[in-house]
Structure 1
Amino acid sequence: MTADVDVVPELAYGTSGRHMDVHRPAPSSSASPVVLLWHGRGAEERDVLAPLARSAARLGVVAFVPDWRPDAPDGGRTQLAESVAFVRENAARFGGDAERMVLAGWSLGANAVLGVALDPAALGGWRPRAVVGIAGGYRSAAPTTGTVPIDDASRAGDDQVPPIPVHLVHGTADPIVDIEQSRELRDALEERGWPAPLEELATDHAGIVMTEYSVEHQRCLPSTAAHAVDAGTRTAHLLARAAGITVA
């Protein structure tokens, strides 16, 4: 499925005055699945994930991309929770189905979404349809829970709550977050009977979301490099599949 993409920018959410953008496909007669996509450690970097969000929207998902601040006093936990609440309450306004919501994150954002997957109480008992961890590091405390996903994975299933689907993707040439962290998490979950397929792509930390790091701008910017376009496209396809969309 391909579609034109409409972008609704600068939506305020929560009590902190942060903003999010919505990337949505052309209007349809039925509601589309939703992906909430959290950026990494840099404060207010929703623009970094715009190429990935647009690519996913072309496949038929409504992609919400919020700013959040990992340097907030609580590590960003309140803002992340407020972004979830906003999307659950407002998805229908933008053609989305909040009951078919995937939580995805890149880098530190991936750490945060795995915290949600592994702790049913992280968001007051609410659980997404699936989670997607993109180039995540899982050996440090998740902003959403304060616990370490790798450690939590060793206890996965102990609470008798059915696991939700976990999808992982990571670049084999990532110099920022070693791909071994995703492999370690996959292995830990699979040892507990919790499948967590890992897609390994020939790209780096920025290329996995269709960007490249600019020293001049001190920021990741959209990339046209072949490895980034290919990897970012495949990451977008993974988001769509996690949301229940069949893609080639």
Structure 2
Amino acid sequence: MPMTTTEYLPGRAAGQYGDPAGRTVLMWHGAQTDARAAMRPLARHLALLGRHVVVPDWDSHAPDRGRADLLGSLRYCRDRGWERIVLVGWSLGGVAAAGVTVSQGVPADSAGIRVLRTVCLAGAFGATDPVSGARLPTDLTGVEHRPPVALLHGVHDDVVPVAQSRAFAATLRRNGWPVTLAELEADHASIAGAVYDPGTDRYGPAEDAASLAVAASVAQHIVRGD
């Protein structure tokens, strides 16, 4: 599946897959610097299912923990008319996606985006949300826009325990929020179509058949709610 690369902020690149006329899926990688390539297999599977996928680089190690990058990618989508999106986040990116979703769906300085559905892959919900700079709230009674949330977590994840997704699902249910939780035969990397390289301490795109099969399954879960 061909990919094009554009700057969504000065010096910040985003990969795009699929036809821009399709429903836009904005995907945020986890706690690394500029790791969009790690989610390439998942993005390609989604594009094959008819989705337009935007995967921006962002820097979780920046002084603002990546807040400007993440919000910049939302504005990038809004400014190009892709204002109704499915928001997908992996690991720390999953916390950011959840934070955007439970904050009325859109932070104030990204007005014009409407999140239709949120999917968190191995969400590190015990961490601070890089967008708000705070832990995710547990009282969501005042939130009006409540897009469905799907939580996908690998049962073999030894980086972020599946218990974190179970606990967040319970919080959403207590607040009457539409949520599903699927526990998959995956680890922390393969749930996002990635593989971990201990030599470089980085995640990259998977090439092995087992991880690619997980990515194909995750893509089906993402589009199922559309």
TM-score when normalising by structure 2: 0.92
Alpha carbons of structure 1 residues 121 and 189: separation in structure 2 relative to 1, 3 Å: closer
1:13 aligns with 2:8: yes
Inter-partner Cα distance in structure 2 for 1:202 and 1:127: 31
Larger deviation, residues 206-215 vs 77-86:
206-215
Describe the SS at the equivalent of 1:129.
Answer: strand
1:109 aligns with 2:96: no
> Would you say the 8 A contact 1:122–1:145 is kept in 2?
no
How far off is 1:220 after superposition? 2.4
> Would you say the 8 A contact 1:115–1:147 is kept in 2?
no
Please report the RMSD computed on the Cα atoms of aligned residues, expressed in angstroms: 1.8
Aligned residue number for residue 129 of structure 1: 116
Aligned mate of 1:40, from 8, 30, 38: 30
How far off is 1:61 after superposition? 0.5
Alpha carbons of structure 1 residues 204 and 123: separation in structure 2 relative to 1, 3 Å: same
Aligned residue number for residue 155 of structure 1: 139
Inter-partner Cα distance in structure 1 for 2:105 and 2:203: 33
Alpha carbons of structure 1 residues 159 and 238: separation in structure 2 relative to 1, 3 Å: same
How far off is 1:104 after superposition? 0.8
Alpha carbons of structure 1 residues 219 and 229: separation in structure 2 relative to 1, 3 Å: same
1:213 aligns with 2:213: no
How far off is 1:99 after superposition? 4.1
Render the CA deviation track for 1:136-169: whole Å, top value 9, x for unaligned: 11122101112212xx1x211x225131111110
- Give ranges in structure 2 of 5+ residues lacking alignment: none
Aligned residue number for residue 167 of structure 2: 184
Render the CA deviation track for 1:24-53: whole Å, top value 9, x for unaligned: 14x8xxx21000100100100010011110
Aligned length: 223
Inter-partner Cα distance in structure 2 for 1:88 and 1:196: 25
Inter-partner Cα distance in structure 2 for 1:8 and 1:19: 10
Inter-partner Cα distance in structure 1 for 2:61 and 2:143: 34
> Would you say the 8 A contact 2:146–2:178 is kept in 1?
no
Render the CA deviation track for 1:196-226: whole Å, top value 9, x for unaligned: 1011101100111222212234322333445
How far off is 1:71 after superposition? 1.2
TM-score when normalising by structure 1: 0.84
> Would you say the 8 A contact 1:13–1:86 is kept in 2?
yes
> Would you say the 8 A contact 1:35–1:239 is kept in 2?
no
Inter-partner Cα distance in structure 1 for 2:35 and 2:215: 17
Render the CA deviation track for 1:8-27: whole Å, top value 9, x for unaligned: 12x1122x4211010114x8
